[in-house]
Amino acid sequence: MQEPSESLDFVREKVKADTESGKFSGRVQTRFPPEPNGFLHIGHAKSIYLNFGIAEEFDGQCFLRFDDTNPETEDISYVDAIQEDLEWLGVAPSGPPKFASDYFPQIFEWAEDLIRRGLAYVDDQSAETISEQRGGFGQPGVESPFRNRSAEENLGLFHGMRDGAFDDGSKVLRAKIDMQADNMWLRDPVLYRIRRVPHHRTNDEWIVYPTYDWAHGQSDAIEGVTHSICTLEFADHRALYDWCLNQLELPGDKPEQTEFARLNLTHTVMSKRILRRLVEDGHVDGWDDARMPTVRGLRRRGYPAEAIRAFMDQISVAKVNSVVEIELLESFVRTHLNRTALRRMAVTKPLKLVITNWPEGEVEWVDVVNNPEDPDAGTRSVPFSGELWIEEDDFRLEPPPKYYRLTPGREVRLRNAFFVTATDAVTDDEGNVIEVRATYDPETRGGNAPDGRKVKSTMHWVSAEHALDATVHLYDRLLTESHPGADDADPLDSLNPASRETTEAKVEPALGEVATGEVVQFERLGYFAADLDDASVFHRTVGLRDEWANIQKRKQK
């Protein structure tokens, strides 16, 4: 059993109180219940770490259950993808995945039970009429003219629904609760619909499908779930969740629903519908594009699962919805990578630097520390020669004020190597600098002057003769609005056309050995993940500057 952290969130407080009072015989069982109709995103990760975390901490169990009651939008490919993503997130279900569709026979029998006891009826009205008759807050509901059919008639009709006697949408089964209830969900909610749609597991075995409300609590009860944790939108459904379970002869304890605030992040959309639009309208390359907040996207981007989990622990679980700044998540990613990522040199916008007094053809190998935060990471040898690549931005022919990098007549440090002084530059017909010329001081080997003189800047570099080519994707926010979709705006209104800038970079030889998916720090530029399919392509995970710290400072003012 893992020690629960010092201060418990309200869900864990409840679970703890329940175990101490002996409720559910002290047992704890949770579940993560995705619908297999899309890929997991960072919001799901919150629910995953909450459910699996509680099971770990309280010596309980947590299962993955596919809530597969809507065959129209569901697919087996999502079933597989969700399992892969869970594994990558580092959680392990307590057993093989479960499927709500496996419970269709039991759930159907329970519906028959309700009908026999006069607690459910078949309604022949259209979905629109039923919805209109529901009324609203302070507005009375209207009872269906079919509400008082006999149990026998209802049972016959319900079997007819199952056996194909009626068209899709022509009849539904409804619970008979109270058309004047204050809680709209209790105004005779629909339990079953007719849909002649093949299901990815049951094929055409069923043409009637239970609704979420008539399947979820029942699935929980069948599995022995004790704590059914869901997001706040379902708070109003709780009365119905309880009503359904209260009518049934359950195999064990009655599960209890608890709601928590979903994760919202600035500059991020999480609704599957909007994420699908991003993919289908070609704004990103796919669900696993490094700009997507999907688990696959974050993984490609180089976000470590441990950092995502640490972030979730920090923001904790609340009862009120709020929006968390994405910079906080990035800060967790940066902190983690600072400890683990090897340092490398890469030039994303290469400009040639020629050292005119370098001995012709000579190569010096300099020893460079792999990670100053991790002595065990060792050192590597990096070649230095008379022709180097430096960043275009690190040289100005005519420097603006406060420009401390290379410019004619100024001396700077080439990291871990030598001091160099620019002498002049070669320009093309349009006046663009295409080559910088410089001299070096052989006394400054290792990057320090024996006479103690200082330079104002240190630059990274790559030996031209030894450089490898790499493609580098630099990212900016996909959505420039901090709260996309606020005030009923289209969440994609603020799509950033420049969210990805791709450059052809020159990188040091050691980057030829990077593994797919590995994240390294490019000195001065940020953390970069080698693509999952091609290790010569890099995605900028995060920059080096801690923007979260700046936000905190601004808030304190």
| 351 backbone dihedrals φ, ψ, rounded to 5° | -130, 135
Residue 292: phi and psi, rounded to 5, are -85, 145
List the catalytic residue out of 16, 195, 254, 262. Answer: 262
Q: What's the min distance (Å) between Cβ of 293 and ligand ATP? A: 10
Q: Could you give the 3-state DSSP secondary structure of residue 409?
A: coil
Q: For residues 368-427, which are near ligand ATP according to CB under 6 A?
A: none
The least distance separating ligand ATP from the CB of residue 33, rounded to whole angstroms, comes to 5
Q: Which residue among 14, 262, 349, 524 contacts ligand ATP (CB under 6 A)?
A: 262
Compute the distance between CA of residue 528 and CA of residue 289 in angstroms, rounded to an integer: 15
The two tokens of residue 108 are 């159907």
- Nearest to residue 386, comparing CAs of 469, 468, 465? 465
C-beta of 257 vs 348, nearer to ligand ATP: 257
Q: How far is the CB of 364 from ligand ATP (least distance, A)?
A: 53
* Of residues 231 and 335, the one with the C-beta less far from ligand ATP: 231
Residue 542 · residue 333 · CB < 8 Å:
yes
Name the residue whose CB lies closest to ligand ATP. Answer: 43
Residue 415 contacts by C-beta under 8 Å, 6 or more apart in sequence? 345, 447, 458, 459, 460, 461, 523
Q: Could you say which of 2, 170, 271, 502 contacts ligand ATP (CB under 6 A)?
A: 271
272 is catalytic: yes
Q: Total residues contacting ligand ATP (rule CB under 6 A)?
A: 14
Contact 401, 350 (CB under 8 A): no
Stretch that binds ligand ATP, among 214-222, 265-273, 316-324, 340-348 (CB under 6 A): 265-273
DSSP run (H or E) holding 297: helix 295-301
Using the minimum distance from each CB to ligand ATP, give the nearer residue, 43 or 302.
43
How far, in Å, CA of 353 to CA of 346, rounded?
A: 15
- Between 55 and 510, CB nearer to ligand ATP: 55
Write down the least CB distance from residue 326 to ligand ATP, Å: 13
Report the residue from 208, 225, 244, 270 that binds ligand ATP according to the rule CB under 6 A. Answer: 270
Question: Which of 402, 328, 337 has its CA nearest to residue 374?
Answer: 337
Return the number of the residue (226 or 370) whose C-beta is nearest ligand ATP.
Answer: 226
Segment near ligand ATP (CB under 6 A); pick from 105-113, 164-172, 264-272, 509-517? 264-272
Q: Which is nearer to ligand ATP, 171 or 238 (CB)?
A: 238
Catalytic residue among 46, 272, 291, 380: 272
> At a CB cut-off of 8 Å and minimum separation 6, what does 508 contact?
344, 345, 346, 382, 462, 463, 466, 467, 468
DSSP category for residue 515: P
Instruction: Output the smallest distance, CB 64 to ligand ATP, in A.
Output: 10
Length of the chain: 557
Using the minimum distance from each CB to ligand ATP, give the nearer residue, 79 or 230: 230
Nearest distance from residue 256's CB to ligand ATP, in Å?
Answer: 15
Name the token pair of 423. Answer: 């002498």
Binds ligand ATP by CB under 6 A, chosen from 114, 130, 173, 263: 263
Q: Which is nearer to ligand ATP, 35 or 392 (CB)?
A: 35
Show the binding pattern over residues 198-237: x = contacts ligand ATP (CB under 6 A), - = does not: --------------------------------xx------
Cβ-based neighbours of 279, under 8 Å, separated by 6 or more: 286, 287, 289, 292
From 270-278, 380-388, 510-518, 521-529, give the range in contact with ligand ATP by CB under 6 A.
270-278
47/144 with CB nearer ligand ATP: 47
Stretch that binds ligand ATP, among 72-80, 90-98, 269-277, 341-349 (CB under 6 A): 269-277
Residues 20-79 that bind ligand ATP (CB under 6 A): 33-35, 43-44, 46-47
Binding track over 272-301 against ligand ATP, x by CB under 6 A: x-----------------------------
50: number of Cβ within 10 Å: 22
Q: What is the spatial distance between Cα 28 and Cα 15, in angstroms, rounded to a whole number? A: 8
Q: How far is the CB of 185 from ligand ATP (least distance, A)?
A: 16
Select which of 23, 35, 143, 435 is catalytic.
35
In angstroms, give the least distance from the CB of 380 to ligand ATP: 42
Active site residue 23: no
In degrees, to the nearest 5, what angle opens at C-alpha 70 toward C-alphas 106 and 173? 55
- Check if the beta carbon of residue 216 is closer than 8 Å to that of residue 233: no
Q: Would strands 346-347 and 500-507 be described as parallel, antiparallel, or unpaired?
A: antiparallel
Contacts 24+ apart (CB under 8 A), 392-396: 392/349, 392/350, 392/351, 392/433, 393/349, 394/351, 394/457, 394/459, 395/351, 395/353, 395/422, 395/425, 395/433, 395/436
Q: How far apart are CA 208 and CA 71, in angstroms?
A: 11
Catalytic residues: 35, 262, 272
> Where on the chain is the footprint of ligand ATP (CB under 6 A)?
33-35, 43-44, 46-47, 230-231, 262-263, 270-272
